[in-house]
Structure 1
Amino acid sequence: MEATYDAISDTGYSDLTIQDIADEFDRSKTLIYYHYDGREELLVDFLDYVMKQFRTMLPDSTESPQEELETLVDTLLPTTIDEEPFQVMLAMFELRVNAPYDTNCREQYRAVEDELNTLLVDILSRGVEMGEFENIDPEIEAELFVSLLIGTRARRLTVYDPKESITSLKEALQYHIDRITATPEGNA
């Protein structure tokens, strides 16, 4: 998986071959084919690998719900990105585009979205219970946030250069967070 990460960082998704991965791997190309029928099957496992790493970066409940939500936005949508992580994020986006044609890929993305949704429901529910968020429906808001985050990430990857700031996009998400945040007089 690390060899795949390195190969994607160097060549990107569209030009990536098993040979590129083998060149980064300290074992033979034959071993890769022993475990995988081809590039797409390997990339579905790579998606799982990347998602497991991503999960370790998610906020924990030691922060306030609003801070957790803001940390999640910052984690998913860095304002600027170095070239190497950008190439990997772009490859994951390109892999997502294949999901309608690849059941395994679609299931992997659905699992990721379900996990993200569950995390958001938890954050938003705790925020409502603590009076930090308005009396919103956490499940509906979570669905909205999943869509906003995925859509914003797609825009980030497709219309902005890696070093170009997406401050305006993040300000729009912060505006929504501020809208659902309870006002001090609403807590009284």
Structure 2
Amino acid sequence: MNIGNDLDQMDPVKRDIMEATYKAVSEHGYGDLTIQHIADEFENSKTLIYYHYDGRDELLVDFLDYVLQQFLANLPDSTQSPRRELETLVDTLLPPTVEEETYHVMLAMFELRVNAPHDEDCREQYLVVDNELKSLLQDILSRGVKAGVFEDITPAVEAELFLSLLIGTRARRLTVYHPDESIESLKEAIQTHIDRITASSE
């Protein structure tokens, strides 16, 4: 992945628009968000926003790409042991609690995911991030099996399972838990599965 390079090479004006959008989403959420809310957080004129985007929906597709690239850039690398790398990935996706601002952005991303069946651009963005996550999970699990860290599992199948567990748990956190409410009990269920596939010699 060259995610970090993609972010570094982003047009400075578009980066400013994305950062203004982040602030606006943090305050107003997805449903009530308007171009004016974004302009209020933008140091330049609203006209410049409309120079780059026809409207809110087109801007939000770029914002989704921006957030997903940042997310992918912050995923764990392969310098840790496979089990620890897997646990770090879980912690990255599922922090026990989140600040209010982060929660609103996560919720906006969830609402965009829900809207994906009706928006092909959003769907394509989420296919990218899902495939990246699945590939990363499969790589971690494959290296773990080869190193004897994990049992003789089928990495591709387990990767699909972990991806569904992680996305499903994030959805539960956003729909039934308050931002400052711990989801440790949900993470314990995932940790139990990690323990289950870990080789007895570990």
Amino acid at match of 2:71: F
CA distance in 2: counterparts of 1:129 and 1:44, whole angstroms: 39
The answer to whether residue 164 in structure 2 is matched with residue 147 in structure 1 is yes
Equivalent residue in structure 1 for 2:140, among 104, 123, 127? 123
RMSD: 0.9
CA distance in 1: counterparts of 2:20 and 2:33, whole angstroms: 12
Equivalent residue in structure 2 for 1:80, among 97, 100, 111? 97
The answer to whether residue 182 in structure 2 is matched with residue 175 in structure 1 is no
Q: Secondary structure at the match of 2:142?
A: helix
**CA positional deviation for 1:56:** 2.4
Count how many residue pairs are aligned between Structure 1 and Structure 2.
Answer: 185
In the TM superposition, what are the counterparts of 1:1-188 in structure 2 within 5 Å? 1-184=18-201
Q: Secondary structure at the match of 2:43?
A: coil
**CA positional deviation for 1:16:** 0.5
Identity %: 74
Between 135-144 and 30-39, the greater mean CA deviation after superposition: 30-39
Between 169-178 and 29-38, the greater mean CA deviation after superposition: 29-38
Please give the TM-score of this superposition, normalised by the length of structure 2.
0.90
Amino acid at match of 2:159: A
Amino acid at match of 2:110: F
- Structure 2, unpaired ranges of 5+: 1-17
- Runs of 4 or more, structure 1, over 3 Å off, are none
CA distance in 2: counterparts of 1:11 and 1:177, whole angstroms: 37
